[in-house]
Amino acid sequence: MNAIQPSQPPLQPIQKRRVIARPKRHLRQRSYQVMALESTAKIAVNFLITAVAGSALVQLLPFHWSQQEKLREIHTEVKLMEGHVNSLQVEFSRNFDPQQAKSIRQEQGYRFDPSQRRVVLMNQDGRVIEQTDLLP
């Protein structure tokens, strides 16, 4: 039983398996085509999005520029109004200053203190150069 048995050739010859051409190569080529089609679709969609964004920018830029111009005009008007408001505030504070009440009444009412004397400087032609009121 444990003896080595002589090798005998097999009774039937071993048949070589036939290599059946599997469509692997065809599948690879098809997967490359699918990937190429997918990449092309992605690029086309990206170009479309870029075109839409560019179109929106082209439409928005003139609006933005007009708004900036309006903003500059408003800033200019605000500066002018600030100057006007400042002058009105100075005049308002002067009008309600008790120390200047007498001089303001004289300016607005053309009345003068009896102790004041009017000095009028005239040209040789008879035109008035300057009028001032002096206290004695």
Q: How far apart are CA 67 and CA 56, in angstroms?
A: 17
pLDDT digit string, tens, across residues 24-76:
666 677 788 899 999 999 999 999 999 999 999 999 999 999 999 999 999 99
Q: Calculate the alpha carbon distances from 104 to 99, 107, 117, 134 in Å.
A: 10, 5, 17, 16
pLDDT score of 22: 58
Across 60-89, b (16+ Cβ under 10 Å) vs e yields eeeeeeeeeeeeeeeeeeeeeeeeeeeeee
Question: In degrees, to the nearest 5, what angle opens at C-alpha 77 toward C-alphas 74 and 79?
Answer: 110
What phi and psi, each to the nearest 5 degrees, are found at residue 108? -85, -30
For the chain, which residues make up each domain, given as ranges? 24-134
Q: What pLDDT does residue 136 have?
A: 46
pLDDT at position 55 = 96
% of the chain residues with pLDDT over 90: 41
The answer to whether the predicted template modeling score (pTM) of the entire model surpasses 0.75 is: no
CA distance 75 to 59: 26
1 vs 51, residue with greater confidence: 51
SS3 state of residue 133: strand
